Amino acid sequence: MSKKLRLCEVADVKDGEPVAAFAEGMPALAVYNVDGEIFVTDNLCTHGNAMLTDGYQDGDVIECPFHGGSFDIKTGAAKAFPCQVAIVSYPVEIEDGWVCIAKPEEAA
């Protein structure tokens, strides 16, 4: 029964084409489709001022557009140098065809 934030419609997120999303009180978010499964992470690279949705998705890896670093879309873990700090990955719920995440204070 936690409050949910609606980010975008599932149908708008194509496999391999991450979508930028915004929600009140949240940092910039990125929504991904990996083989039909939806994932949400922070959009800002932990290495610099780059939006990961401007980067390149390859399966379950998102490569930053700036310095070739990358992250695991499913866990947020840093995968390639110079990225060393994980991005935040959010549990996703699909509701009425919308991609939703729980409001942080009510998550967990």
- Number of residues in contact with ligand FES under rule CB under 6 A: 10
Residue nearest to ligand FES (CB): 48
The answer to whether the Cα torsion of 52, 56, 61, 66 is positive or negative is negative
Residues in 58-97 at the binding interface with ligand FES, rule: CB under 6 A: 64, 66-67, 69, 82-83
Q: How far is the CB of 94 from ligand FES (least distance, A)?
A: 29
Find the distance separating the first CA and the last CA of the chain, reported in whole Å: 12
Stretch that binds ligand FES, among 20-28, 32-40, 42-50, 92-100 (CB under 6 A): 42-50
Return the number of the residue (5 or 46) whose C-beta is nearest ligand FES.
46
Spatial separation of the C-alpha atoms in residues 35 and 57, rounded to whole Å: 12
Token couple for 12: 């708008």
Cis, peptide link before residue 18, omega less than 30° from 0:
no
Contacting positions for ligand FES (CB under 6 A)? 45, 47-48, 50, 64, 66-67, 69, 82-83
